[in-house]
Homo-oligomer: A and B are copies of this chain.
Amino acid sequence: MAEFALIDRLRARTRTRADVVLGIGDDAALLAPPPGEQLAVTADTLNAGVHFPPETLPADIGWKALAVNLSDLAAMGAQPRWCTLSLSLPHDDAAWLESFADGFFALADAQGIALIGGDTTRGPLSLSVTAIGSVPAGAALRRDGARVGDDLWVTGTPGEAAAALSLWQAGAIEVTHACADPARETLRQRLLRPAPRVDAGLRLRGLAHACVDVSDGLLADLGHLCARSGVGAELQLEALPIPLTLRGFAPMQARSWQFAGGDDYELCFAAAAADRESVGQALAFAGIEGAVVGRVIAGDLLQVLDAAGQPWLPPRMGYQHFA
């Protein structure tokens, strides 16, 4: 079995940056970090059959492999700069790689991140990305800064990716073909092409006390934030609007996806109630909606209250892999 170096084919596709002194092609890349800033580094892997259906189009795989990592940088309030890609492919397939690159670099170019290294090996389809960003020293949005009394915010419309996953599992949509129904197509795109909230993260520096991205489900990820901050949370079920795309489903089902469904890559963050207007403006400048869904409380309880003030539990918690 011979090695093959598809990374060199990707090299021609990546945009360069002024802070890339030496890109792909030496033993290591050389990078010039911005003076006075800290680096934010994250690594996430996607495996075919675990993190996406095997038939997923390569362009969608390329987009998502980078998106899940950019979402982690967004949750830190970091500016994306560079990434590496380790790509394991069953066959040396140039057409697959070009399509993969279409999706990967569509997002990379939009967010200004450069591919600066990596490795290609033969094996079951798997993609490991390490993304590096930067943030002024002390300005990162960590998980451990939430304070009692803070508003708890969620961006966008969580639950849509889980709805799409459920529709796919029921055979109602395909990952390989667009859907004629506009609402369903919106859901499908939310699953296949999640938009990392990088701009929102940058604009929340100095406003958010703590932040996490919603990859495993709102309650699960908020639970991580609360645990790191040593606080609890009280959410209002009705405070998170049900988007148009989810109004065709039973309300309890929609609520379950919103609070416990994964893969949306929205941000959940804590900010002072006094900053509510500033936060709303910051999100508006980033082009997304946001909702105050509850508040930080003392203790370690995380609960959702329904319209009658009664504790509400989703049928199941956390992220369920697609199969």
Contacts and interface: CB of A to CB of B under 8 A. Distances in A.
A47 B137 CA distance: 37
Contacts of A93: none
Contact of A118 (B43, B47, B122, B323): B43
A39 interface: yes
Contacts of A212: 27
A283 B296 CA distance: 59
A137 B32 contact: yes
A119 B228 contact: no
Contacts of A33: 33, 38-39
B117 A42 contact: yes
Contacts of A133: 28
A213 B28 CA distance: 11
B124 A119 contact: no
Given A33-B39, A45-B86, A47-B123, 10 more contacts: A1-B50, A29-B42, A30-B76, A33-B33, A43-B128, A47-B88, A84-B130, A86-B128, A119-B128, A121-B126
Q: Which of A47, A85, A213, A228 has the most CB of B within 10 A?
A: A47
A101 interface: no
Interface string A90-103: 00000000000000
Interface stretch (A18-26, A105-113, A153-161, A179-187): A18-26
A117 B35 contact: no
A307 interface: no
B124 A124 contact: yes
Given A1-B321, A2-B321, A126-B126, A29 B35 contact: no
Given A30-B140, A124-B124, A21 B38 contact: yes
A143 B25 CA distance: 9
Interface string A110-150: 00000011110111101010111101010010111000000
Nearest to A34: B33
